[in-house]
């Protein structure tokens, strides 16, 4: 025997069911679909399940059963990207560099580019050059690469590549990745039919790159994750995009300036059957938001859910989006304090963006409307959620509860001079006794805020955060110690406890930061360092995937 309780407020129908031995569940559906829920519940009543219907205070929701799931932040497009998501490596090439014979590297005249970034003409004695796969240690495929292009001109392959066959519009080059980066030089181009649509295809993918541009290793690695957050793929931080015409498209020469086109992000999600998380550029106008939402509605598999967030870390003063929001918030009279104005503008602009998405999608059934905040500061979360009753129009509070240890070169606390003389065990002890408990405390406090306002708690980013700051990053000895810690089995054990605390606190989607990226003095963010890493030798990866698999995700686990 079970009982079903339905409560109706001004915008939703909440229902929960209890069956002996199971936990409470909660759902929310728009009022216009309430009759479907009621019919289903009445049907349950006819089967002997008790039914009661009553009113609830507006905004009241039931405590939903936590459903932890793993999402992933994909590493951003760059010529040094070690994830190698695309089989056409030119898509991650550096912006064209102007060269002039007899002058220092990169000191040629300004290049004449078309709207897609292709060189339309060259001045006498000048050429254009770009780099791809600037990856050390041979961590990208060697073999026979195929260069395809349209137009009339002369292309030369340099660096790790050596031309073995060449005809108009096609070059075959043998590439030895142990020799470093791959260079492509544009030596001549016909202004009436300039060289364009250049593609540099990895070995074995010439026949398939147009129908499936993603590398199979990349696809296999992230098959089964619940969500892909495209913050870095969209070049969200400090984005210059304002208008729909500013966006990257599949015809854009390289994706390393404005980001990966929306069409490709949608195609990836459809292929993987994974929910997308999009970050709307902080200066984007309403037309951009509407056209973006419309393309997603038209092209994304209707079975998938869309996470929508205004920019990224608008609370974070290191980003231009914070300064923009502060200025706009003060202009609108939200506060005379720039930090507070930025928090409130985040809520204000988020609600406008959510409304546009809801209008385009004809409702919010397929949307998760995300309000993001600073994990270490619950007061910021309260400010964002309560300003103009933003929580009533949002679904989730998102934070980044990193296992943090940020070490400056100088100051009153622990400095790089101290840490660089620690043993690896001393460092891991500190992370275990200080950094991990701090992260768990943030999670619990933020969950209390989320519960107070009746929204879900999710993580837009998370993982370890061991890094030098304010000059500390220049300590090579400390950086090496941090890298050792990220390879150590104890880090995997710490992750086990970290994820356990997340699920026990009631956290839901957890988007790890980040997928595959080379570690440096700026941080060890990648859950793997290179596309050809052995995952079984990466404790961070193994712990994360075990956790996801335990919750039923069909992730790749060696």
DSSP helix/strand/coil, 495: helix
Residue 30 is predicted with a pLDDT of 41
Strand bridging mode 367-372 / 182-189: unpaired
Strand bridging mode 126-132 / 182-189: antiparallel
Cβ neighbours of 432 (radius 10 Å): 16
Give which of 445, 483, 453 is closest to 466, Cα–Cα.
Answer: 483
DSSP state, 204?
T
DSSP helix/strand/coil, 454: coil
Pick out the chain residues at pLDDT < 70.
Answer: 1-66
Q: Which residues contact 162 (CB under 8 A, 6 or more apart)?
A: 173, 174, 175, 176
pLDDT tens per residue across span 476-498 = 999 999 999 999 999 999 999 99
Contacts of 476-480 with CB under 8 Å at 24 or more apart are 476/521, 477/420, 478/407, 478/416, 478/419, 478/420, 479/520, 479/521
DSSP helix/strand/coil, 117: coil
* 476 CB-contact burial (10 Å; exposed 0-12 / middle 13-18 / buried 19+): exposed
> What DSSP string runs through 99-113?
EETTS-TT-SPPPEE
The pair phi, psi for residue 540, each rounded to 5°, is -60, -45
Give which of 548, 464, 463 is closest to 503, Cα–Cα.
Answer: 548
* 210 CB-contact burial (10 Å; exposed 0-12 / middle 13-18 / buried 19+): exposed
Residue 66 is predicted with a pLDDT of 55
Residue 521 is predicted with a pLDDT of 98
What is the CATH number assigned to the segment(s) 69-83+214-550? 3.20.20.80
Residue 39 is predicted with a pLDDT of 42
Residue 65 is predicted with a pLDDT of 58
Say if pTM beats, i.e. exceeds, 0.85.
yes
* CA distance linking residue 396 with residue 114, whole number of Å: 42
pLDDT tens per residue across span 135-190 = 999 999 999 999 999 999 999 999 999 999 999 999 999 999 999 999 999 999 99
* CA distance linking residue 48 with residue 42, whole number of Å: 10
Q: In sequence order, what are the beta bridge partners of 307?
A: 277, 368
**Domain extent listing, the chain:** 2-55, 69-83+214-550, 89-201
Give which of 243, 231, 366 is closest to 297, Cα–Cα.
Answer: 366
* CA distance linking residue 88 with residue 146, whole number of Å: 9
Cβ atoms of 80 and 38 closer than 8 Å: no
Residue 446 is predicted with a pLDDT of 98
Residue 331 is predicted with a pLDDT of 98
């Amino acid at each position: 025997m079970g009982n079903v309780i339905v409560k109706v407020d001004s915008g939703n129908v909440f229902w929960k069911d209890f069956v002996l031995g199971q936990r409470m569940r909660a759902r929310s559906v728009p009022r216009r679909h309430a009759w479907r829920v009621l019919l289903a519940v009445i049907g349950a009543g006819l089967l002997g399940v008790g039914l009661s219907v009553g009113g609830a205070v507006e905004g009241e929701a039931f405590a939903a059963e936590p459903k932890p799931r793993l999402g992933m932040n994909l590493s951003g497009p760059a010529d040094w990207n070690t994830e190698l998501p695309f089989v056409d490596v030119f898509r991650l090439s550096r912006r064209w560099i102007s060269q002039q014979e007899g002058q220092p590297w990169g000191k040629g005249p300004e290049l004449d580019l078309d709207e897609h970034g292709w060189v339309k003409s060259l001045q006498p004695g000048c050429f254009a050059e770009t780099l791809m796969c600037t990856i050390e240690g041979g961590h990208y495929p060697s073999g026979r690469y195929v260069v395809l292009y349209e137009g009339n001109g002369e292309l030369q392959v340099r660096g790790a590549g050596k031309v073995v066959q060449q005809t108009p519009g096609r070059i075959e080059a043998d590439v030895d990745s142990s020799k470093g980066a791959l260079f492509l030089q544009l030596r001549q181009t016909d202004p009436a039919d300039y060289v364009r649509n250049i593609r540099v295809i990895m070995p074995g993918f010439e026949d398939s790159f147009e129908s499936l541009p993603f590398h199979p290793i990349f696809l296999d690695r992230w098959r089964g994750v619940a969500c892909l957050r495209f913050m870095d793929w969209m070049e969200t931080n400090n984005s210059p995009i304002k208008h729909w015409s500013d966006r990257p498209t599949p015809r854009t020469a390289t994706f390393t300036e404005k980001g990966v086109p929306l069409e490709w992000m949608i195609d990836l999600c459809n292929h993987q059957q994974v929910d997308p998380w999009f970050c709307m550029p902080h200066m984007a106008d309403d037309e951009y938001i509407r056209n973006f939402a419309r393309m997603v509605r038209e092209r994304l598999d209707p079975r998938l859910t869309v996470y929508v967030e205004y920019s990224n870390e608008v609370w974070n003063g290191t980003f231009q989006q914070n300064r923009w929001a502060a200025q706009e918030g003060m202009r609108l009279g939200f506060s005379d304090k720039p930090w507070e104005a930025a928090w409130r503008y985040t809520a204000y602009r988020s609600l406008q963006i959510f409304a546009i998405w809801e209008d385009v999608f004809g409702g919010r059934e397929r949307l998760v409307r995300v309000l993001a905040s600073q994990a270490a500061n619950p007061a910021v979360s309260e400010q964002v959620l309560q300003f103009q009753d933003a929580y009533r129009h949002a679904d989730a509070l998102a934070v980044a509860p990193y296992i943090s240890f940020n070490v400056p070169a100088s100051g009153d606390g622990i400095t790089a001079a101290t840490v660089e003389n620690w043993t690896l065990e001393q460092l891991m002890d500190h992370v275990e006794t200080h950094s991990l408990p701090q992260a768990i405390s943030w999670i619990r406090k933020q969950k209390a805020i989320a519960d107070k306002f009746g929204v879900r708690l999710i993580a837009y980013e998370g993982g370890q955060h061991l890094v030098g700051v304010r000059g500390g990053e220049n300590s090579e000895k400390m950086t090496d110690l941090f890298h050792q810690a990220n390879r150590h089995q104890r880090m995997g054990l710490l992750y086990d406890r970290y994820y356990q605390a997340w699920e026990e606190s009631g956290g839901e989607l957890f988007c790890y930061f980040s997928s595959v990226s080379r570690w440096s003095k700026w941080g060890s963010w990648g859950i793997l360092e290179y596309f050809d890493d052995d995952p079984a030798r990466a404790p961070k990866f193994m712990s994360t995937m075990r956790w996801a698999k335990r919750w039923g995700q069909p992730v790749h686990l060696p």
